[in-house]
Structures are given as C-alpha cells and as structure tokens.
Chains A and B, each alone.
Chain A
Amino acid sequence: MRKLGLAAALAGSVALSACVQTKQYADMQFTPPQGDYKLLVLRPDVTVGSLTTGGMVEPRADWTDQARSSIVDALRAQQAARGGKVTIIEHRNEIPGVTAQELADVERLNAAVDESIVVHKYLGDYLPTKRGKGLEWTLGQDAVRLGQKTGYDYALFLHGEDQVASGGRIALGILGLAGCIVGFCAPNIGGQQQLDYASLVDLKTGRVVWFNVVIAGSQVPGIKFGDLRTPQGATQMIDRLLGRMKPGTGVTKGVVVTDDPAAKH
C-alpha cells in the first residue's frame, strides 16, 4: 500500500509533462561499480496493468510475468557488459545463510528509505541540512549484516510499473481528438504511465549510494514511450534507469568529504 502511495505521488509530480524524465542522485564519493564486484539484485518489483476506458488500472498477471522476465533478461545482459558478478533472486528464500524473514526485513526497510528519498529529493520537501551533500541515507547495520553473511558488495532494488492503454481508452482519446472539430479538444485524457525507480546499496557500509527514477508517460493514450513487456522495452528501461550511472558530485569536482568539519583539504 505504501508503494502505491509513493508511485502515485511521483507520477503526480510530473503530470503535466508528456515525455521521459529521469534524475539520479548519488553519494558524494560514489563511483559506479567497476571491475570485479558482486551485485545482488533482489526480486524486481514489477507490475503491468491495463488502463481501462474509465482510467482505472486493471492488473494483468500475464503481462506482469512477461515484463518481469524481460526485465530480468535485460538486466543480466546489461550487467554482463559491465563485468562483475550479478545474482538475481526470484524468491526470498534463495540465498543460503539468510532466512526469508531477514531478507524481507531488508526489502521493507529499503522501501521505507526509498520513500524518504523520494519525498526529500524529488517531491520538493528539501532538507536544508542535506544541501550539497549528495545522497545521505543508509539502511544501517541490517544491510551490513546481509553483506557479511552473503559476501556481496552491492544490493540493487528495482521497482517498475507500467500501464498499457486499452482499446477503449485509445478510442476515448480519438473521440476527444474528434471533438476538436466542434471546439472541445480533449485528446490528452492520460495514457500510459511508466514509473521505474532503483536504489543501489553499498553492503559494506549499508549506505544508499545511488538512486534513480524514470518516469515515462504520455497524455494521449496510444502513444507509448516504452513497453515493459517486450524485450526491447525492458532493455530501454534498464538502459534509462541503470545505464547512465554517473559518479557523485564530490568525485567529479575533486572534493573530499570527511566527518570532521574543521579539517581542510
């Protein structure tokens, strides 16, 4: 239920624009994982639904399964190109040495932290004490314990949701377009809304080191900016979400941040 509210809030914040938007935040000292790293990807949280004529979202189990497998394949391909060892788990009980409950706790904690990041970085509730400090959020000791038990360096949490406009919705949009003739122009009743976000957690420190949101939506039903169900759409989404990881502002500007405010470098 929390994730629903999160998604709605994010989607609402860019309701007026029609295209693809993405903005990433990272830890000041973050460098994208390179070389020999071990990445754990927890079950991508994917749902695909159909947008009914009246604007409701009808969840579709078959489309969701299709999208999930497409995303997993795209993720594997993308990570293979970067080097490093990637494990994508499908169920919570697949990691030896970690119980399903422990993993569930880390996932839920991450969901709560992601919600906080969205509120304070994307929805305008900026915290004055966190200005110019990159991404200062952490999952704490639970994530560090997970890293110690499993031996992974990073954990990636993914969420993706998409709606496909149904025939009725598209027809309604066309009807609205036809109304332009008499002066009632209403084709922009809202079409597909894709929302994806990902958070990367450094399991050695427990900190959330990188976070990205991709919003791809159209106001006119029938116009699509990517379909999560198809391999091409999934590849495009993974590329938009994960493929352009930038280092943190501290790294690019050559600033070293320490905990001691008096120290100067």
Chain B
Amino acid sequence: MLFGGAAAAASLHTGVADARIRPEDMVPLIGPGFRPTEKDEMGLWKEMDRAEEEISGSNLVIQDPKLEGYLKNIIGTVGGPAAHDFRIYLVRIPDFNAMMFPSGFAVVFSGLLLRMRNEAQLAGVIAHESGHFLRRHMIRSWRDMRRKTDLLAIGSMLAGIGGAGAGVYLGDYVQLAQLGTILSLLQYSRGMEAEADAMGARLMERNDYPPIEMANIWEQLIGEETASARYRGKRRRRGSLFDTHPSEGSRMVDLRADAQELTVAGKAYDSRRQRYLSTIAEIRPTLLDDQVKLNDPGASQYLIETLAQDGWNGLLRFCEGEVWRLRNRPGDALRADQSYAAAIAYPDAPADAWRWHGIALMKQGRAAEAKAAFARYLTMKPDATDAAWVRQMMG
C-alpha cells in the first residue's frame, strides 16, 4: 500500500505533464538597483556576499581582461533591468554549467565556452541565469522549502499525537508525506528552471539574438551525452522524478516552441559568431586540453567533430590524436599516429603535435624524418621540460 501511495504521489509530479511556460508571461519581478527589504532575503544576500568574496578571490577564476569584459558585456546586454547590477566570473572547470547566486553574481564554467558555437548560445545561457535573478527564484525557492518543511513538521507532529490518541500507528503515512514533500520541492525547482528558460529566450529575442539557438544548445548536449554514453556501453541518462531540472529533451522541445512564438518574421537576427570565435580563440587550446584530460573519449570526440564543422585545423587534429592516444584501445595508437600526421600539415599545429609525430615515425622506423620532426618541436619549444630526452631520441 505504501508503494502504491508513493507511485500515486509521484505521478502528480512528472515534469512532462507540466504545461509549457509562455515567454510573454515572464516579466521581471525586480528593477534596476534592487536590494532586498524582507528579513529572510536580506539574510540570504548577506551570506551570499561572503560566498562572493570567496569565489571572486578563488584561484580557479580565469583572470583574462578580454574574456571578463566580453562576458560582462553580454550580461550587460541580456541582463534585463538588472544588467548593470550583475557580476560575472569565469572559472576554469571543464564542465557545461553556469549558475546564478541570490545576490546577483553569476559563475560560468570554462567548459561552456568550449561547447557554445556562437555568441547567441552563450548569451542564451547567461540570459537563463539572469532570468533566475529577475524572477526572484532563489528566495521563492527558499520560501517554498520553508513552507513545505513547516507543514511536514506540523503534520508529522499532529499525526503522531492524533495517532497515539486513537491508538493507530501513522508512521508510514508520515514517511509518504516526507517523500511527497521532497518530490514537491523538486517539482517546484523544475518549474523555476522552465521559467528561467522561457525568460532567457525572451531576453535573447529582445536583444536580436535568434532564440532558436537556445534550443540548439540542448540538441548539442544531447548529442554529446549520447556519444559519451555509447562509448562506455551505456544509455544516456533520462530524466527522473528526483531531478532539479527538467529533462534535456523536454527543454529542447519547449525552447523550440518558445522560439517559434517569439521570432518576429522579417526581423534581422544575428548570432554574432565571428566575434565569439575570435574572442575565445586564445583560450581554446586550454579548453580543449582540459576536455581531453577529462578522460571521456566519447564526449571529447563528439565535441572535436562538432568544432571541426567549421573546418579542421592543426589544433583539432592534434586533440583528436590525443583522445585516441589516451583512449588506448586496440588500434587507437595507429589512429593517433594518423591524426598527428594530419595535424602537422596545418600551419597552426601545436609543438606537441610535432613531438608525437616524431615518436610515431620512430615507431615506424623512419628515423631521418623523425629527427626532422623532433628538430621542429625543439625550435617551437626550446625550453620544453623534455628537451634533453628529445635530443637523445634524435641521436
């Protein structure tokens, strides 16, 4: 009976059954220069001020004025009424994620910069985070949690006393109520994520970014996760009742519908691709290196191939080689050698591509060509830590 009850409670809370939130309903709930006036929100902000102090001083923050200015510019554009109140920090964590904190500062992970194909997609993520702040999600979520835990505590106490008076044990129902509370809190969280998606799409459209790009983000992520899971012999993880966010598939579908609703026929939208590519060009080798070292060959290969849709270059071929080499399944060494050979044909091949190409040539017994490759490596990187070893390899 308990199991049936749980299933009944659970069926009330599936994310799929919820209606799509319409972007035009998403109006900002705060204005410029907003400061909290209610006690609980003020307390939350104060805690967050301390958190911001620690995060902004962390050694994970990427201190690059060009990137900082770029992100600040984007959030200053899509941030709605609070555009000039936001702070934004870029941290060197190679995962796809971004978060907004209750006091108005956002943290963006470097993995996001690798996965976004253009400025519109990046602006979409930042607009989503801004939406959390503009719709006051954190304090609403906190108050929701407070309300529900209060009800659960009072209800449990009354059930205990009432049950004792009547001579009935109600503990199982209390546990069911506990599960129901948790599921309800998670559903509220999913609802707010959907609100943020809708608000983000609206903010994007307002600033002439094509809103369909937000849906494309999820399509790309689904592709990446499928590739990653396939390599590991697993299926991509589908959404569950215990998720704080709606499933990726449902987000993509809802955002496509949002984009259709919002897009004005005949208006000129610009995804600002070139500006985005030129801004992140310098940091891209670092981002790719971090991604390769995550040891997720399925995802890394998918990302490299996606980036290669703009055209292969030395860096991408080299990273492809690294993915094979570190994967090290039968036949991967040969694949890696082929990638390194392809990489050095491009002018932008990194120094390490020449090094690994030289090692591949040595394995094949082509000593003279190997020597030339090593020499090229040493000219590009004279103070490499393994220079002595390479010189010894050259003979």
Give bound CA distance, A178 to B150, whole Å.
19
Give bound CA distance, A179 to B163, whole Å.
10
Q: Report whether B163 and A184 are in contact in the complex, using a CB–CB cutoff of 8 Å.
A: yes
Q: Report whether A56 and B157 are in contact in the complex, using a CB–CB cutoff of 8 Å.
A: no
Most buried by A among B39, B43, B44, B150: B43
Q: Is A29 an interface residue (CB 8 A)?
A: no
Q: Cβ of B165: which chain A residues have Cβ within 8 Å of it?
A: 182, 184
Q: Report whether B42 and A61 are in contact in the complex, using a CB–CB cutoff of 8 Å.
A: yes
Contact of A54 among B54, B57, B150, B158 (CB under 8 A): B150
Contact of B149 among A56, A61, A101, A178 (CB under 8 A): A56
Q: Is B30 an interface residue (CB 8 A)?
A: no
Q: Cβ of B53: which chain A residues have Cβ within 8 Å of it?
A: 104
Instruction: Return the CB mask of B149-165 against A: 1 if under 8 Å, else 0.
Output: 11111100110110111
Q: Is B40 an interface residue (CB 8 A)?
A: yes
Q: Report whether B43 and A54 are in contact in the complex, using a CB–CB cutoff of 8 Å.
A: no
Q: Cβ of B46: which chain A residues have Cβ within 8 Å of it?
A: 59, 61, 64
Q: Cβ of A178: which chain B residues have Cβ within 8 Å of it?
A: 161
User: Which stretch, A45-53, A137-145, A209-217, A247-255, touches the partner chain B?
Assistant: A45-53
Contact of A186 among B45, B57, B151, B160 (CB under 8 A): B160
Give bound CA distance, A61 to B39, whole Å.
7
Give bound CA distance, A49 to B145, whole Å.
16
Q: Report whether B153 and A172 are in contact in the complex, using a CB–CB cutoff of 8 Å.
A: yes
Q: Is B47 an interface residue (CB 8 A)?
A: yes
Give bound CA distance, A47 to B48, whole Å.
12
Total contacts A to B, CB within 8 angstroms? Answer: 77
Give bound CA distance, A100 to B53, whole Å.
11
Q: Cβ of A64: which chain B residues have Cβ within 8 Å of it?
A: 43, 46
Q: Report whether B150 and A61 are in contact in the complex, using a CB–CB cutoff of 8 Å.
A: no
Q: What is the distance, in angstroms, from A57's C-beta to the closest C-beta of chain B? A: 9
Q: Report whether A175 and B157 are in contact in the complex, using a CB–CB cutoff of 8 Å.
A: yes
Give bound CA distance, A108 to B165, whole Å.
53
Given A183-B164, A184-B161, A62:B39 Cβ within 8 A: yes
Interface residues of A in 173-215 (CB under 8 A from B): 175-176, 178-179, 182-184, 186, 189
Give bound CA distance, A56 to B146, whole Å.
7
Q: Cβ of B54: which chain A residues have Cβ within 8 Å of it?
A: 104, 108
Q: Is A60 an interface residue (CB 8 A)?
A: yes
Give bound CA distance, A59 to B165, whole Å.
37
The residue on B at minimum CB distance from A43 is B50
Q: Report whether B43 and A61 are in contact in the complex, using a CB–CB cutoff of 8 Å.
A: yes
The residue on B at minimum CB distance from A58 is B40
Q: Report whether A55 and B149 are in contact in the complex, using a CB–CB cutoff of 8 Å.
A: yes
Give bound CA distance, A233 to B270, whole Å.
61
Give bound CA distance, A253 to B265, whole Å.
88
Chain B positions near chain A (C-beta within 8 angstroms): 39-40, 42-47, 53-54, 57, 145-146, 148-154, 157-158, 160-161, 163-165
CB pairs A–B below 8 angstroms (10 shown)? A47-B47, A54-B152, A58-B40, A60-B39, A61-B42, A104-B54, A175-B154, A175-B157, A182-B161, A189-B153
Give bound CA distance, A178 to B161, whole Å.
9
Q: Is A168 an interface residue (CB 8 A)?
A: yes
Given A172-B154, A175-B157, A59:B43 Cβ within 8 A: yes
Q: What is the distance, in angstroms, from A185's C-beta to the closest C-beta of chain B? A: 9
Instruction: Return the CB mask of A88-104 against B: 1 if under 8 Å, else 0.
Output: 00000000000011001
Q: Report whether A55 and B153 are in contact in the complex, using a CB–CB cutoff of 8 Å.
A: yes
Chain A positions near chain B (C-beta within 8 angstroms): 47, 49, 52-56, 58-62, 64, 100-101, 104, 108, 168, 172, 175-176, 178-179, 182-184, 186, 189
Q: Cβ of B161: which chain A residues have Cβ within 8 Å of it?
A: 175-176, 178-179, 182, 184, 186
Q: Report whether B153 and A54 are in contact in the complex, using a CB–CB cutoff of 8 Å.
A: yes
The residue on B at minimum CB distance from A185 is B164
Q: Report whether A56 and B164 are in contact in the complex, using a CB–CB cutoff of 8 Å.
A: no
Q: Cβ of B146: which chain A residues have Cβ within 8 Å of it?
A: 52, 54, 56, 58
Contact of B157 among A104, A183, A186 (CB under 8 A): A186
Q: Cβ of B157: which chain A residues have Cβ within 8 Å of it?
A: 172, 175-176, 179, 186, 189
Give bound CA distance, A26 to B269, whole Å.
67
Give bound CA distance, A55 to B178, whole Å.
14
Q: Report whether B160 and A179 are in contact in the complex, using a CB–CB cutoff of 8 Å.
A: yes
Q: Report whether B154 and A53 are in contact in the complex, using a CB–CB cutoff of 8 Å.
A: yes
Give bound CA distance, A11 to B151, whole Å.
25
Q: Report whether A53 and B153 are in contact in the complex, using a CB–CB cutoff of 8 Å.
A: yes
Q: What is the distance, in angstroms, from B253's C-beta to the closest C-beta of chain A? A: 34
Q: Cβ of A55: which chain B residues have Cβ within 8 Å of it?
A: 149, 153
Beyond the given A58-B43, A59-B47, A178-B161, please list 9 additional residue pairs across the A-B interface where CB-CB is below 8 A: A54-B149, A54-B150, A54-B152, A59-B44, A61-B42, A172-B154, A182-B161, A184-B160, A184-B163
Given A58-B40, A186-B157, A101:B57 Cβ within 8 A: yes
Most buried by A among B44, B148, B160: B160
Given A52-B150, A55-B153, A60:B43 Cβ within 8 A: yes
